[in-house]
Amino acid sequence: MTEQFTLMIKGAQGSGESLTVSAPWDGSEIAQVPYACSADIELALATAHKIFSDRKAWLPKPERLQILEKTAALMQQQK
């Protein structure tokens, strides 16, 4: 079964086209990933800049570290 993904940009519309992702070992289709249009890319960059510029809205360093450590542990389990 092919998995369908959406753009992870809040408010993004996409170009209407998608990219097929294939498994390298047998060429079978794994997923469909949408292409972002230039407006989506501009939206993502503007959002990232806004978030980066407002350091008061950032997660505190201990929370960010906890998220990264949990992510690393999950990746280690699934390896």
Q: Which domain holds residue 51?
A: 3-78
Cβ proximity of 46 and 19 under 8 Å = no
CA distance 19 to 35: 7
With a cut of 80, say whether residue 2 has pLDDT above it: no
pTM given for the model: 0.59
Nearest to 39 by CA among 62, 3, 71, 7: 7
The domain tally of the chain equals 1
Q: Is 24 helix (H, G, I), strand (E, B) or coil?
A: coil
Q: What is the pLDDT of residue 1?
A: 63
Q: What is the pLDDT of residue 61?
A: 94
